[in-house]
Chains A and B, each alone.
Chain A
Amino acid sequence: MTRPRVLILHSPGTNRDAETLRALELAGAEVEIAHVRDVRAGSVSLVGCRAVVLPGGFGYGDALGAGVLQALDLTTWLQDAVGTFVGRGGRVLGICNGFQTLVKSGLLDDGCEPAKPGNRAVTLTHNERGHFECRWVHMAPAADCAADWLRGLSMPIFCPVAHGEGRFLTRGSDTLNHLAAQGRIALRYVQADGGAAAGSYPHNPNGSAGDVAGICSPDGLVVGFMPHPEDHLLSRHSPVPVPVDAMGFRLFEAFVEAL
């Protein structure tokens, strides 16, 4: 069985690339970390990759807002490469800073071309509590999520969030319903027993609208979320005992299997 090739994109300030690589490798992928400038220069190609993963970190130090400058990279330097890749059905996964990047680039937006990120209807902004926060949360795939591989998870994933700008907000009150109707809500923060977080802190750690922890594109190929399943690959990583199916590793297994 060939291992699907996955490329992890590294920008200045990316810092969760090594553990993301470990997670994907353990899940059965063949993984390479590539610097964004090498992809831009063409010395690393996306051709032949089944997925591109944008890992966590602080790309460009979050200057001008989390993910903003990496989004500029995606929509200028890498516009053709990424456009072609997505157009051919390649999968894109953004975790935390990678999710912020996907959102700010417009790649995860509704009916909005990547070239016009200024029109997007969703955003990730400063946590309701106003500061960076690191704590373990539960997240569960939303019903009817267009990313079919997520629906295979048997129980909520338990893993940490570690971010200052992870509060999911939408423009206009209908947007959230619209996203849900389209299967665009990928993951929601939930309570330990799987019950709705209903906006309550700390189950919903950052004040995200609709408890949204992650969203996806209408075809489910582009997915992003804030929490870090790559920090829960083994049972000893968990601060409290949980079933093995709650490990973040399960999410990577499902992802690689879908490639």
Chain B
Amino acid sequence: MASSISYWTASTVIRLEIRGGLGHRARAVTAQLPFLGLAAIGACEATAVYFLDADLDDDALEFLCARLLRDPVTETAAWMRDPRDNAGSPAAVEVARKRGVTDTETRVLENALVRLGLPPARAARATRYEFAGAPGDEDLHRIARNLLCNATTERYAVGWLQPEFEEGAGHSSRCETIPVRDLTDVRLAALSRDRGLALSLDEMQVIRQAFRDFGRDPTDVELETLAQTWSEHCQHKTFKARIRFRHEDPQGRTIGTETIDGIFDTCIRAVNCEVAKTWLVSVFEDDAGVIRFTDDLDLAFKVETHNHPSALDPFGGAHTGVGGVVRDVLGVSARPIAATDVLCFGPPDLPDAEVPAGTLHPRRIRAGVVRGIGDYGNKLGLPTLSGAIVYDRGYVSNPLVYCGCIGIAPHGAHPTAAEVGDLVVALGGRTGLDGLHGATFSSADLAEDTRETQGSAVQIGDPILEKGLMELLGQARDEQLYTAVTDCGAGGFSSAIGEMGEELGVEVHLDRIRVKYPDLAPWELWLSEAQERMVVAVPPARLARLQALADHWEVELSVLGKFTGDRELHIRHEGRTVGRLPMDFVHHGWPRPELNAFHREPSTCDPAGTPWTDGDQALKTLLTHPSVASKEAVIRTFDHEVRGGTLVRPLTGPCQDGPADGVVFEPLEAAGSGRAVAVAQGINPMLGLHDPYAMGGSAVDEAIRNLVCAGADPDHIALLDNFCWGNPTLPDRLGALVRAAQGCRDAALALQAPFISGKDSLYNEYAGEPIPGTLLISGIGIVPDVDRCMTAHAKHSGSLLFVLGDTRAELGGSLLHCLYGLSGGVSPVTEAAFGNRYRALHGLIRSGSVLSAHDASEGGLALAAVEMALAGRVGMDLDLTAVHADPWHALFSESNGRILIEVDPEAVGVVTDACRDLPLLRLGRLGGERVLMRHEGTVHVDAAVEALAACWRGAEM
């Protein structure tokens, strides 16, 4: 997509090339060429190109390069004023961000010119890639499209790129009236589709009737406001819908039919009614869930998804995903202190020919997403501590990007009551055409042409601006300068201000919004999802102080309106009313959907025969699967040490390369409290393909088990649910969703862990194919003694290995079945009795009686034991005869509620005593350099620890 617009008219545009500093990027591109079959093209060289629309002489340019742009050790600079054509230019591709996409670098350069006393100038930039092997244009276009340029946010040219400078790009400042009162149903549906409203016919009919009652037609501002507010993204209509659910047995006979009065109320909220913990502070009321941490401090936790944007622009999607969830935590007046990430990708080795049209290769999606998360989190100074990566073909076109953020706040410091007369104040970034229709875009399926039609929904963030917001809001909270706060996420101001004003009513003046460029239409100002913006309610008397703080932190502030008390949403622009709706209609006017769902239970018969005969081989197959194998290459690109409180890291063991169950950190703010925070996840979409109910339960149990293994108190654990699913209007998708929700409800009740926050991302489908229904359970727990954290790696030769928990024949939906393409079998259950095991283990950890603890989940006891061994570089000799009569179930069954514990021989009495009423089995002894697993005298596994470690590390990125 080469640019056809020429801004090359002014003779003053200077093209400045800085060579030598981008060798790291060039090497990365060169390394990818073989995947395109273009290894012969040879090495790539990358050059930074700046365009300056300015009148600068050679001395000024030399000064600019010396002071700012050229590193004297690694770089050289050259400039030209009058480039004419490509003649004589080596084979090259140049890539630039599109106009309207955030680029802090050029803004910073423009400011720096002035600082250096040079004439002000507009700046633009590009990256130039030259290839030694003189490829033809066709190959250059292929390289550009597949490696260098993401068409959602970037453009490229073969040869020299013509610069485009940021300037007015708006549509029209007019507000239109949209006639709906007389539209037929067919035309109503067409209106929703053509404007990208993502409203159903039912909803459009309600709107038509409402405006008939009002006696007028809606403005575009009003219609767009309703579409945003009523979107799946904002209202979670599916989770509130009344569902007629039919449940079938494996043979298709109806087991039962029921009407589910909202998944949210019956499965999520229901748990919290029965599990009333005294330490819950705010649950499902705010942007994030809040629990007590110490007497004085609360913890907030929120997990969001940014799936559709990450499919289109992996870097930008993940980047703004982190930025968005951080603002959720700011929205409960907490200081963000840690980040989490859970990612689902297609297989990295997918043949290019099998990548669907309009989809990026999984390798490219992974690289961009990982870079985006690291760039935002690292720059914000948040340790990105905890996460997981799952690979499956089902995620090729719909990758999942779960971004989480944990925050800390003084208890009771979050104000939630704006008053009549308080001002509506916007803080942070300017508004442009960024991210229009993000909320509605994420409430529909992806398609081949989504990139072209919805590309503007994707943005790139500015973490430094967000950092300023963080500092400002923390200080404003402590000085009690605001009475309410919310983040600007999907739906932009329309959602943020609309929600804040729901109880009181609000009057907003769109022309007071600070803009990146002129000529934005009122509805665009109102809906833009430009990043790094927050809205606060400010009593007029405190505005001056807030302004002073905002100036200090270099955050822009604008007063957009005030809270009125008339319970109306009143939107004005340039002296005219462009929208006026009753708040009640805006927030509650949408018709509650009625949906149909059915689910057929899977066969519980184990598949006939076992295709694996060799335990070693099966184990190696598991170890090298990318979902199991080491994620070190990804983890190390995230800062997991910043803030100086990390205690248990995502990589453990003497070589700091073994897998951890949960992570633990001690917030700076709580230093001296003696307490720490544990974070972990449970996720198993492969099990969900077999039995979504079992997936729901197992995810809850796994998250809790991981936390307990890290040292958390099992009675002080809170959960977050994040469902990523396909199109919920299709009964089979919805039926599986219902079962998963019931599974996590039953497990949370059994283990007495409340839900504090959750989110769903639906319509994750491409060309009629849904993703595997994926439930992520994130858990946050309190480690009561900061010096009693626990890690999973084996510690010593000579110590003993026990398994706490019984093993059943539960291979249905297991990773082993998945890898061997088998279906059928009983899936793992979750029982209340597991809670006693976790309490017993926690007591042992508190008393220092356990050397290590590791949860057994995917891959069963065999994989869990091997992970402990390879992480600790210690061998083990285990006899699994008493675990289960069938050796393969003993090795690989995925029964829940099991934890491997390493015990010093001298502590055996303490451990057996504490577990006297619990299923506790001694498996063997640690030592040597090999892992041996026996069953009834037969050796099923015999492998060197180093070989297992190499195997596990080998499938790295």
A-contacting residues, B315-364, CB 8 Å: none
**Does the CB pair B641–A160 fall under 8 Å?**
yes
A-contacting residues, B15-73, CB 8 Å: 21-25, 27-28, 65-73
Contacts of A60 in B (CB 8 A): 108, 464
B-contacting residues, A22-66, CB 8 Å: 22-23, 35, 37, 56-58, 60-65
Expressed in whole angstroms, the Cα–Cα distance for A5 and B41 within the complex equals 59
**Does the CB pair B636–A134 fall under 8 Å?**
yes
Give the interface segment out of B243-251, B645-653, B890-898, B904-912: B645-653
Determine how close the nearest CB of chain A comes to the CB of B548; give it in whole angstroms.
Answer: 13
**Does the CB pair A134–B467 fall under 8 Å?**
no
Give the interface segment out of A10-18, A85-93, A146-154, A211-219: A10-18
Contacts of A136 in B (CB 8 A): 656
Given the interface pairs A58-B463, A58-B464, A118-B65, the reply to whether A13 lies near B379 with Cβ below 8 Å is yes
B90 in the interface, Cβ–Cβ < 8 Å?
Answer: no
Contacts of A169 in B (CB 8 A): 73-74
Determine which of B105, B636, B639, B654 lies in contact with A63 in the assembled complex, contact meaning CB atoms within 8 Å.
B105
B451 in the interface, Cβ–Cβ < 8 Å?
Answer: no
Given the interface pairs A12-B554, A15-B380, A126-B21, the reply to whether A63 lies near B71 with Cβ below 8 Å is no
B381 in the interface, Cβ–Cβ < 8 Å?
Answer: yes
Determine which of A116, A127, A134 lies in contact with B641 in the assembled complex, contact meaning CB atoms within 8 Å.
A134
**Does the CB pair B786–A236 fall under 8 Å?**
yes
A162 in the interface, Cβ–Cβ < 8 Å?
Answer: yes
Contacts of B690 in A (CB 8 A): none
Contacts of B786 in A (CB 8 A): 236
Given the interface pairs A117-B67, A118-B65, A170-B73, the reply to whether A61 lies near B24 with Cβ below 8 Å is no
For A73, give the chain B residue with the smallest CB separation.
B115
For B24, give the chain A residue with the smallest CB separation.
A130
Determine how close the nearest CB of chain B comes to the CB of A11; give it in whole angstroms.
Answer: 10
A228 in the interface, Cβ–Cβ < 8 Å?
Answer: yes
The interface bits of chain A over 123-139 (1 if a CB of B lies within 8 angstroms of the residue's CB, else 0) are 10111111111111000
Contacts of A160 in B (CB 8 A): 641
Determine which of A68, A135, A171, A230 lies in contact with B636 in the assembled complex, contact meaning CB atoms within 8 Å.
A135
Determine how close the nearest CB of chain B comes to the CB of A63; give it in whole angstroms.
Answer: 4
B109 in the interface, Cβ–Cβ < 8 Å?
Answer: yes
Determine which of A63, A122, A133, A236 lies in contact with B787 in the assembled complex, contact meaning CB atoms within 8 Å.
A236
B368 in the interface, Cβ–Cβ < 8 Å?
Answer: no
Count the A-B residue pairs with Cβ separation under 8 angstroms: how many? 156
Given the interface pairs A13-B464, A130-B27, A239-B656, the reply to whether A122 lies near B641 with Cβ below 8 Å is no
**Does the CB pair B108–A120 fall under 8 Å?**
no
**Does the CB pair B647–A237 fall under 8 Å?**
yes
Contacts of A125 in B (CB 8 A): 21, 71, 73-74
**Does the CB pair A162–B642 fall under 8 Å?**
yes
Determine how close the nearest CB of chain B comes to the CB of A72; give it in whole angstroms.
Answer: 6
For A228, give the chain B residue with the smallest CB separation.
B641
Given the interface pairs A22-B668, A135-B656, A236-B787, the reply to whether A61 lies near B379 with Cβ below 8 Å is yes
Contact count band on A: 35 or more
A233 in the interface, Cβ–Cβ < 8 Å?
Answer: yes
Expressed in whole angstroms, the Cα–Cα distance for A228 and B28 within the complex equals 27
**Does the CB pair A131–B637 fall under 8 Å?**
yes
B770 in the interface, Cβ–Cβ < 8 Å?
Answer: no
Contacts of B554 in A (CB 8 A): 12
**Does the CB pair B637–A64 fall under 8 Å?**
no
Expressed in whole angstroms, the Cα–Cα distance for A64 and B116 within the complex equals 15
Expressed in whole angstroms, the Cα–Cα distance for A6 and B833 within the complex equals 56
**Does the CB pair A12–B646 fall under 8 Å?**
no
Contacts of A132 in B (CB 8 A): 374, 378, 637-639
**Does the CB pair B639–A72 fall under 8 Å?**
no
Determine which of A35, A61, A120, A230 lies in contact with B644 in the assembled complex, contact meaning CB atoms within 8 Å.
A230
B104 in the interface, Cβ–Cβ < 8 Å?
Answer: yes
**Does the CB pair B467–A13 fall under 8 Å?**
yes
A-contacting residues, B905-937, CB 8 Å: none
**Does the CB pair A127–B24 fall under 8 Å?**
yes
A144 in the interface, Cβ–Cβ < 8 Å?
Answer: no
Contacts of A239 in B (CB 8 A): 649, 651-652, 656
B545 in the interface, Cβ–Cβ < 8 Å?
Answer: no
B552 in the interface, Cβ–Cβ < 8 Å?
Answer: yes
**Does the CB pair B644–A19 fall under 8 Å?**
yes
For B371, give the chain A residue with the smallest CB separation.
A131
Given the interface pairs A12-B467, A18-B643, A239-B656, the reply to whether A57 lies near B66 with Cβ below 8 Å is no
For A63, give the chain B residue with the smallest CB separation.
B108
Expressed in whole angstroms, the Cα–Cα distance for A12 and B70 within the complex equals 22
Given the interface pairs A63-B104, A120-B73, A239-B652, the reply to whether A133 lies near B467 with Cβ below 8 Å is no
**Does the CB pair A69–B73 fall under 8 Å?**
no
Expressed in whole angstroms, the Cα–Cα distance for A118 and B656 within the complex equals 40
B671 in the interface, Cβ–Cβ < 8 Å?
Answer: yes
B842 in the interface, Cβ–Cβ < 8 Å?
Answer: no
Determine how close the nearest CB of chain A comes to the CB of B559; give it in whole angstroms.
Answer: 24
Contacts of A230 in B (CB 8 A): 644
Given the interface pairs A60-B108, A123-B71, A237-B646, the reply to whether A118 lies near B21 with Cβ below 8 Å is no
Contacts of B68 in A (CB 8 A): 64, 68, 72
Expressed in whole angstroms, the Cα–Cα distance for A233 and B108 within the complex equals 36
Determine how close the nearest CB of chain A comes to the CB of B726; give it in whole angstroms.
Answer: 34
Determine which of B116, B381, B645 lies in contact with A15 in the assembled complex, contact meaning CB atoms within 8 Å.
B381
A121 in the interface, Cβ–Cβ < 8 Å?
Answer: yes
B539 in the interface, Cβ–Cβ < 8 Å?
Answer: no
Contacts of B649 in A (CB 8 A): 239
A76 in the interface, Cβ–Cβ < 8 Å?
Answer: yes
B568 in the interface, Cβ–Cβ < 8 Å?
Answer: no
Given the interface pairs A22-B644, A236-B786, A240-B654, the reply to whether A133 lies near B636 with Cβ below 8 Å is yes
**Does the CB pair B656–A240 fall under 8 Å?**
yes
Contacts of B65 in A (CB 8 A): 118
B739 in the interface, Cβ–Cβ < 8 Å?
Answer: no
Expressed in whole angstroms, the Cα–Cα distance for A233 and B668 within the complex equals 12
Contacts of B379 in A (CB 8 A): 13, 15, 58, 61-62
A-B contact pairs, 14 of them (CB 8 A): A12-B468, A15-B642, A18-B643, A35-B552, A58-B463, A63-B109, A65-B21, A72-B116, A119-B72, A120-B73, A129-B24, A169-B74, A236-B787, A239-B651
Other than the given A134-B636, A237-B647, 9 more pairs (CB < 8 A) read: A12-B468, A58-B378, A64-B108, A72-B112, A116-B66, A118-B70, A121-B72, A123-B71, A236-B789
- B residues neighboring A (CB under 8 Å): 21-25, 27-28, 65-74, 104-105, 108-109, 112, 115-116, 371, 374, 378-381, 462-464, 467-468, 552-554, 636-647, 649, 651-652, 654, 656, 666, 668, 671, 786-787, 789
Closest 5 CB pairs of A and B: A15-B381, A118-B66, A130-B24, A19-B644, A123-B73
